[in-house]
Structure 1
Amino acid sequence: MKKNRLANYLGLVTASALLLTACGETETIEEEASVDETEETNEQAEENTYPLTLDNYTVSEDGAEFTEKEITYESRPESIVANNQGTAELLLHLGLAEDLTGVAALYGEGDADVSEGFADIPVLSEGYVGKELVVGADPDIVVGRGQLFASAEWGTGTVDELNELDIMTYIQTTSVPGATFDDLYTDIDNLGKLFKVEESAEEFSEVVTARLDDITASVPEDAETLDYAYIFGAEGNNVDVYSGAADTYLNDALSYMNLNNVFADATGEISMEALLEADPDVLLLVNYTGGRAPEDSLADLEANEALSSLSAIQEDRVHTIDYNQFWSYGYQILTGMEDLSNAIYSVN
């Protein structure tokens, strides 16, 4: 009787072991099948997406003249060089930290929300980056401000030059003359498609819209339109007035705050006489890394007797703005707008 029980027990143990082994093999097979299915799904999704054709641009060798161009991307770029700080920050918001292999032009305040990811990106140059360093980073694509796609010491190389080296390009639509604030949504949408992060792009567009709505709501309903002018530097009696005529993206963005670029239609350099004649309500003093301290420039502006009649100086309406927030042609303009709204419209 005991022998039969023992035999039965051993039989059960053996059967259980065989069953467990079979289950383990089944689970392994199922896991491998699941991985294979996922990879197959990803490959199928990529096949369905690419080749992807987007409306974009080429630019002249000096980075000044833009030409519309359809660009076809045969596959998802896996390594990215951002030719300026703000572009890299935008790509980080879209979840592309692991794809960024280089950044340049660190000329302003960074976005604290993505500072940790930004710190991990190799800095090719703290100033504008040349073609040699860009190519040396071996990127699949260069993304960023259009004016920097130039065949010059400070340029990344032209679109055609980079394409000939099998390096793809994407010029921010916002950086092209004629752009409006809506082109920020175009860039976010295009980059979402190009890098297969459509959901992140859609979510970030909603964040942009919410912030813009808050900014416009902060402007009093009875606020009159205020004229402004950019001051890129002031030292002694020398004042560098910048027209911003080509920066239509910035001009349109600030129009949401009832601010009007008084030199939006100007050509050539802006003289002191032209500034005095225009007499803008607001002066925007540009601060950029490596430049003169804005408080020193402000002191010289206020001490300049030739400018003493300007309304902006008499009414203490000289406001410092950050280079990265404005001239990265990205979402950072919203931070600049928020700061200006607080400075101009807040009730003391």
Structure 2
Amino acid sequence: MRTALVAAALLLVSGCGATVAQDTTSGEGPVTVTNCGQQVTYDRVPSKVVTNDTGITELMFALGLKDRMAGYVVNGLKTVDVQTSPWKADFESGKHLSDKISKEVVQGVNADLVFAGWNYGFSESTGFTPEALKQLGIPSYLLTEACRNGVGKQRGIMPALDALYTDLRNLGKIFRVEAKAEELVKSYQQQIENAGKLMAGKPRPKVFLYDSGQDQPFTSGKNAAPQDIIARAGGDNVFGDLNDSWTTVNWEAVVQRNPDVVLIVDYADGEANTPQEKQKFLEGFAPLQNSPAVKNKRFYSLPYAALVEGPRNPASIEAFAKYLSQA
């Protein structure tokens, strides 16, 4: 979805380290956007938004919308995200509501919008779903990376960067900051284009995204952010053929695909809490001993929030491209 720039007078609004170009002619009436394939109408500009997870929260911060938030939900395993965030000051000055999102949390702050996603807060098993919120009179917006694609609970309906741009433009329309959203999209596209030049003409390494899991690895299929991060940086995701976003595979498949590089997600997963511990596990895992990644110690890590859909994705592409180009 591409939102045209509005030819209107712009009011510069300062907020928490961000300057937002706000369309003064947009008004406060209803707006309709396409979210996960559905036409959704928002009757007014939300002013008490609750976000779930770091990447989702950073989308709001990047658009300069912290003052439109009642607070955010981020669990205690994501401390690396907050400490490394370009919006650390917004996290610190904003309201951390809970480690886990629930109906009670959002009702407690009179939320007028919940921004989350399937497996990013929304889950039938917990009863916290967009439909349950609708029954409470609370609208929701779903992260596009987490949209279900019609095959069971598999997620992903478009390439990951398209999902990022779609959400920025949708949020720009909902919150009447379309010019700011378009500014971000264009700057990200330029940053990604420049990063792609670093590996131009060089062999493309096979990359295994390792999130967590020792019995079975949790990784990224073609619909999650690492797919585009890896590809635009100059590599090939070894599980880029899986029609899903974040998903579990088996070690036999990892060994068979013989990765040249391992990209590690930096967050505490309950088994190996640091990238160093995850690397140590992989180096000691006998079936992977002959893989080029292990033999050549080709490991690189990025924070969780840099690898889920969010405004850190372009910088992640640039950083990973620099790493790959040094080989």
Q: CA–CA distance in 2 between the matches of 1:138 and 1:113?
A: 28
Deviation at 1:124, TM superposition (A): 1.8
1:258 is matched with 234
- Identify the match of residue 149 of structure 1 among 102, 122, 146: 122
Deviation at 1:133, TM superposition (A): 1.3
Aligned pair in 2 of structure 1 residues 253, 293: CA closer, same or farther (>3 Å)?
closer
Structure 2 SS opposite 1:228: strand
Deviation at 1:169, TM superposition (A): 1.0
Any idea what the Cα deviations from partners look like across 1:246-294, whole Å, max 9, x if unmatched?
Answer: 6344313421123222123348843222221111111122221464122
Structure of larger gyration radius: 1
Q: CA–CA distance in 1 between the matches of 2:269 and 2:98?
A: 13
1:76 is matched with 45
Structure 1 SS opposite 2:211: strand
Do the aligned partners of 2:217 and 2:250 also contact (CA within 8 Å) in 1?
yes
Aligned pair in 2 of structure 1 residues 314, 322: CA closer, same or farther (>3 Å)?
same
Q: CA–CA distance in 1 between the matches of 2:115 and 2:93?
A: 18
Do the aligned partners of 1:105 and 1:125 also contact (CA within 8 Å) in 2?
yes
Aligned pair in 2 of structure 1 residues 43, 167: CA closer, same or farther (>3 Å)?
farther
Q: CA–CA distance in 2 between the matches of 1:305 and 1:136?
A: 50
Deviation at 1:310, TM superposition (A): 1.0
Do the aligned partners of 1:84 and 1:104 also contact (CA within 8 Å) in 2?
yes
Any idea what the Cα deviations from partners look like across 1:289-312, whole Å, max 9, x if unmatched?
Answer: 464122122123223333211111
Do the aligned partners of 1:88 and 1:100 also contact (CA within 8 Å) in 2?
no
Matched, 1:174 2:155: no
Any idea what the Cα deviations from partners look like across 1:212-259, whole Å, max 9, x if unmatched?
Answer: 12211222x21122222222336xxx4542242263443134211232
Do the aligned partners of 1:242 and 1:270 also contact (CA within 8 Å) in 2?
yes
Matched, 1:215 2:195: yes
- Identify the match of residue 120 of structure 1 among 87, 90, 93: 93
Deviation at 1:71, TM superposition (A): 0.9
2:57 is matched with 88
Do the aligned partners of 2:221 and 2:241 also contact (CA within 8 Å) in 1?
yes
Q: CA–CA distance in 2 between the matches of 1:276 and 1:175?
A: 28
Deviation at 1:193, TM superposition (A): 0.8
Matched, 1:105 2:74: yes
Structure 1 SS opposite 2:91: helix
Do the aligned partners of 2:114 and 2:140 also contact (CA within 8 Å) in 1?
yes
- Identify the match of residue 244 of structure 1 among 188, 213, 220: 220
Taking structure 1 as the reference length, the TM-score comes to 0.74
Do the aligned partners of 2:207 and 2:230 also contact (CA within 8 Å) in 1?
no
Structure 2 SS opposite 1:46: coil
Aligned pair in 2 of structure 1 residues 253, 340: CA closer, same or farther (>3 Å)?
closer
Structure 1 SS opposite 2:137: coil
Structure 1 SS opposite 2:34: strand
Deviation at 1:80, TM superposition (A): 0.6
Aligned pair in 2 of structure 1 residues 340, 45: CA closer, same or farther (>3 Å)?
closer
Counterpart amino acid of residue 135 in structure 1: Q
Q: CA–CA distance in 2 between the matches of 1:342 and 1:81?
A: 35
- Identify the match of residue 164 of structure 1 among 135, 139, 152: 135
Counterpart amino acid of residue 210 in structure 2: I
Do the aligned partners of 1:243 and 1:266 also contact (CA within 8 Å) in 2?
no
Matched, 1:135 2:107: yes
Unaligned runs of 5+ in 2: 1-22, 148-155
Deviation at 1:109, TM superposition (A): 2.1
Q: CA–CA distance in 2 between the matches of 1:43 and 1:336?
A: 34
1:330 is matched with 310
1:183 is matched with 163
Aligned pair in 2 of structure 1 residues 87, 232: CA closer, same or farther (>3 Å)?
closer
Any idea what the Cα deviations from partners look like across 1:107-128, whole Å, max 9, x if unmatched?
Answer: 24235432212212211223x4
Counterpart amino acid of residue 236 in structure 2: N
Q: CA–CA distance in 2 between the matches of 1:109 and 1:208?
A: 20
Deviation at 1:101, TM superposition (A): 1.1
Size of the aligned set, in residue pairs, is 286
Q: CA–CA distance in 1 between the matches of 2:107 and 2:222?
A: 29
Structure 1 SS opposite 2:87: helix
Aligned pair in 2 of structure 1 residues 280, 210: CA closer, same or farther (>3 Å)?
same
Structure 2 SS opposite 1:256: helix
Deviation at 1:321, TM superposition (A): 2.4
| More RCO (CA 8 Å, sep 6+) | 2
